[in-house]
Structure 1
Amino acid sequence: MSLADQFFNILMIIDDFYWGHIGFTLVICMGLYFTIKSKFFQFRILANFGNTLKDLHCEKGHDDQGVSPLRLYFASVGGMIGLGNVVGVVTAILIGGPGALVWLWIGSIFGMLIKYAEIYLGVKFRVKNERGGFDGGPMYYLQRAFNIKAIPILAAILLCIYGVEVYQFVIITDTLTNTFDFNKIAVIVGLIGLVIYTALGGVNRLATVCTILMPAFMVIYILMCLYVIGANLESLGTVLSTVFSSAFSGHAAVGGFAGSTFILAAQNGIARAVYSGDIGIGYDATIQCETRTIHPERQARMAIFALLSDIVVCTMSMMVVLITGLWSISPVLLPSEYVATALSMHFPYMNYFMAVFFFLAGFTTIIAFFTVGMKCSRFLSHKWGEKIYLIYGIFAFSFFSFFDQTKVILIMTLSGGLLMLINLAGIIKLRKNIEFK
């Protein structure tokens, strides 16, 4: 066994323990605490979408500084909705079984208020910068929560690691290389160039790109998935019954599926909810702090709708794999091939369509995360941070492009898990500063 394999095996053991015990407990307990404290605030906001938009439209805040709140919504969605929703969530089913979908719903619904809290604090404790915008996020409100300087620095370093979204980068390079027979080195170099160009434009350029790409991506993908579900409508009742029953009892081995327990279903469902929705990670707080609004609660409410969008896309991905039966048959496919195979049963030329689709979906997430990493690098060193981070990003994207997809995702889930641990500790310390209104 090579050193790389030993390294990833160690990461897998740590990942299983963390999400099976610590991460799972943190999301459920903290989400439940905020839900009860706020008197089910997320449901009240979801029922009043019109009022939320009206408040943002009437916002008079910083006209000459910051980014439009609605454009930031699409920047947020661009970071959340990507290949994690199309590929990453499928691994939850492959390991945890159909019941992982229920736990993804539970984690996301409770996670809405965790995201609300981190964005609220991100906007409240932000500072103006010399670029005509704002700096905020965990690095800034953690300074208010703790007197230990190392904690916000550690959060910034972890966000820099998380900001290089190697998992989705690997999927895009593999897909483009295999589908169009492109030279892999050329694909890696070209994609890195596009990422760096967009990230150097800051949150404003990110918001522009995501506002153009995300609406069409979401509508086309959801409609295609609904068509597949409709074409297999006779199986829907059985699939839903299996989903809910296995969520709390596990699932026996069937076909190419090795079987799972309740713990595996919960662990993988919650882990993928956190990863796909960036719950408690600090990404959204760092992006949303650039808003023009002077009211933290107005921007934070949009996170609830952004996470709802994330849930819908995740559910569509998992349902098409479940309803077509692909999750339980042999031979086992690559994680990136399940949704494409399910859609190809009903649409022609899906290998080419999904290659382009994966590029658009993954690219918005990669640039969103990298933009956050750039902001964090400036926090660590105003003079050298961005330069060092660009070198690190080029190295990490290139290096991990030659590893298996199922191994690379461990980098993201573990760094995200550690970020969530630190971030939630700060949110708990500052909970009296958060208003649900």
Structure 2
Amino acid sequence: MDFLTILNNINDFVWGPPLLALLVGTGIFLTIRLGLLQVIKLPRALKLIFTAENEGSGDINSFGALCTALAATVGTGNIVGVSTAIAGGGPGALFWMWVAAFFGMATKYAEGVLAIKYRTTDQNGEVSGGPMYYIERGMGKKFKPLAIFFAVSGVLVALLGVGTFPQVNAISQSIQSTVGVDPRITGIVIAVCVGLVIFGGIQSISKVSEKVVPFMAVIYIIFSVAILIFSADQIIPALGLVFKGAFTPSAAIGGFGGAMVAKAIQMGIARGVFSNESGLGSAPIAAAAAKTKWAAEQGLISMTGTFIDTIIICTLTGLSIIVTGAWHGGAKGAVITQQAFATILPTIGPLLLTICLTLFAFTTILGWCYYGERCLEYVAGVKAIQPYRVVFVVMVALGAYLKLEAIWILADIFNGLMALPNLIALLALSGVIVAETKAYMAYVANK
């Protein structure tokens, strides 16, 4: 049995029906307890992105916290993750990404609430928060082993999973296929650029994210919409494939080998979580740093991250791949999305995608460096921060050397390990989430 087979077996176990049911089930449970908040309060949440009061303790403003979280989520999951999901599970996988995102919005809201509610300050005077803190401070000291398990998993995800290898690999492969630069050179350049930013801490990461994230998202959305406009006659048939493929097996077409419904569900939910990270427990680490007096206010702002990431950006990617037929060409990873862009914009399309992918993945690396840093600080204290940053830069440089299959499987495994303790905490503290929500809504009503 080779290494890849062993990894696949571990991944199938971690991402088996129990975890997928727990992810979606937690979102459904919170949706019910919060009275469909992700629909009813979405307009207010979107407005708060730009109008939050930014009063209270914290290291960065609410918009900066959202951009830092989006920096970590809007990445290769939106380009490579979507294409991988559709290539493996058929167009129906996109439907299950929507399902995961819809209920994931309630989960992301809950994470944001608890992040502010139970945050603290480290020995350097910087805000620390996230699942490890709301597990220990909310559920009680006896659950500290669960908090440590989350933090250790978070460090592993940052160093060996989402934070480094998939991002660097996606950038280097995309640049190589577009302009022919050796992936090893790309990896070193990325590592140097990452190092220049991360040694400035959350303030530096936030400033870069606030500038890059909105810019790259708008550019990507504009060109994705352009593809759909040029292929307007294929949008309805594409949506038909999405809904049909979600509930019936997908037939083999071209280089696409067909897929069962179970595969569409697994690929859709797993890649959806990889993309928007709802339930994973990463985003509340950034949310905890926001300047706000109201936990629920930051919860609403955090919730928009999943909406922007999956409902908007992943949908545009998925539909672009389906309407152009790129999904059944037999290609892998970012090349599928490149082919979709090249169909409509043969000269500039692949180059634009490479630029977007590079910016997406680069900011994801920055965001995940911060997540891993906060997790390690919880376990080992502030003395471990600087050595961690050095190791992180080295891991980024190594990211261009690993094969795509092994990278994605490792990322999925660590994601699953990270999600489990976080989901347990969200269910255990759902009463606190509801109470904080009611208090904030009463404050808003009386303003």
The letter for the 2-side match of 1:151 is L
1:14 and 2:7 are equivalent in the alignment: no
Displacement, 1:191? 1.2
Equivalences, count: 428
Cα gap change, 1:325/1:150 in structure 2, threshold over 3 Å: closer, same or farther?
Answer: same
User: Which amino acid is the alignment partner of residue 363 of structure 1?
Assistant: F
Measured after TM superposition, the shift of residue 39 of structure 1 is 1.1
SS in 1 for 2:358: helix
* 1:336 paired residue number: 334
* Letter of the structure 2 residue corresponding to residue 378 of structure 1: E
Counterpart of 2:333, as a letter, is: P
Deviation at 1:93, TM superposition (A): 0.6
TM-score using structure 2 length: 0.91
Distance change in 2, residues 1:154/1:202 (3 Å): same
Distance in 2 separating the partners of 1:391 and 1:417: 26
- Match of 1:250, SS? coil
1:230 corresponding residue in structure 2: 229
Q: For 2:104, give the aligned amino acid.
A: G
Structure 1 position 43, deviation (Å): 0.4
Alpha-carbon spacing, 1:51–1:361, altered in 2? closer, same or farther (3 Å): closer
1:40 aligns with 2:39: no
Provide closer, same or farther for how the CA distance between residues 180 and 298 of structure 1 changes in structure 2, counting only shifts above 3 A.
Answer: same
- 1:83 aligned partner: 76
Q: Quick one: distance in 1 between partners of 2:409 and 2:391?
A: 18
1:29 aligns with one of 20, 25, 30? 25
Superposition deviation, residue 12 in structure 1: 1.4
Q: 1:154 aligns with which of 149, 159, 163?
A: 149
AA matched with 2:226: Y
- Corresponding position of 1:176: 175
Residue aligning to 1:322? 322
Query: What is the CA distance between 1:306 and its match in structure 2?
Result: 1.3
Q: Secondary structure at the match of 1:333?
A: coil
Q: Secondary structure at the match of 2:94?
A: helix
Q: Relative to structure 2, which stretch is displaced further, 77-86 or 372-381? A: 372-381
Pairs within 5 Å for 1:129-208:
129-144=122-137, 145-146=139-140, 147-164=142-159, 165=163, 166-208=165-207
The one-letter code matched in structure 2 to 1:221 is Y
Q: Structure 1: any 5+ residue segments left out of the alignment? A: none
1:253 and 1:324 map into 2 onto residues whose CA distance is 17
Specify the SS of the correspondent of 2:302. helix
Shift of 1:349: 3.0
Inter-partner Cα distance in structure 2 for 1:39 and 1:53 = 22
Q: CA deviation at 1:197?
A: 2.5
- Verify the 8 A CA contact 1:24 1:266 in the aligned structure 2: no
Rounded to whole Å, the distance in 2 between the matches of 1:383 and 1:287 is 17
**Higher mean C-alpha displacement, 165-174 vs 307-316:** 165-174
Give 5+ residue unaligned stretches, structure 2.
Answer: 442-447
- Residues 34-113 of structure 1 aligned to structure 2 (within 5 Å): 34-49=30-45, 52-53=48-49, 56-57=52-53, 59-62=54-57, 65-113=58-106
Q: 1:123 aligns with which of 116, 129, 136?
A: 116
2:195 touches 2:393 (CA, 8 Å); kept in 1? no
- Contact 1:111 1:279 (C-alpha < 8 Å) held by counterparts: yes
RMSD over aligned CA atoms reads: 2.0
- Letter of the 1:336 counterpart: A
Contact 2:156 2:414 (C-alpha < 8 Å) held by counterparts: yes
- Aligned partner of 2:444 in structure 1 is none
Q: CA deviation at 1:109?
A: 0.6
CA contact (8 A) 1:198 1:206 kept: yes
Matched, 1:271 2:309: no
SS of the counterpart of 1:434? Answer: helix
CA distance in 2, matches of 1:54, 1:100: 33
What is the percentage of aligned positions where both structures have the same residue? Answer: 26
Instruction: Give the conservation status (yes or no) of the 8 Å contact 2:100–2:272.
Output: yes
Quote the offset at 1:229 in angstroms: 1.1
Secondary structure of the 2:15 match is: helix
Pair 55,342 (structure 1): closer, same or farther in 2 beyond 3 Å: closer
So what's the TM-score if we normalise by structure 1? 0.92
CA deviation after TM superposition for structure 1 residue 255, in Å = 1.6
Q: Secondary structure at the match of 2:416?
A: helix
Please list the CA deviations of residues 129-183 of structure 1 after superposition, one character each: whole Å capped at 9, or x if unmatched. Answer: 3444311111111113251432222211111111232111111122234433334
Return the offset for 1:395. Answer: 4.6
Give the letter aligned to residue 344 of structure 1. A
Q: Is the 8 A contact 1:172 1:359 kept in 2?
A: yes
Deviation at 1:403, TM superposition (A): 2.1
How many Å separate the matches in 1 of 2:11 and 2:197? 32
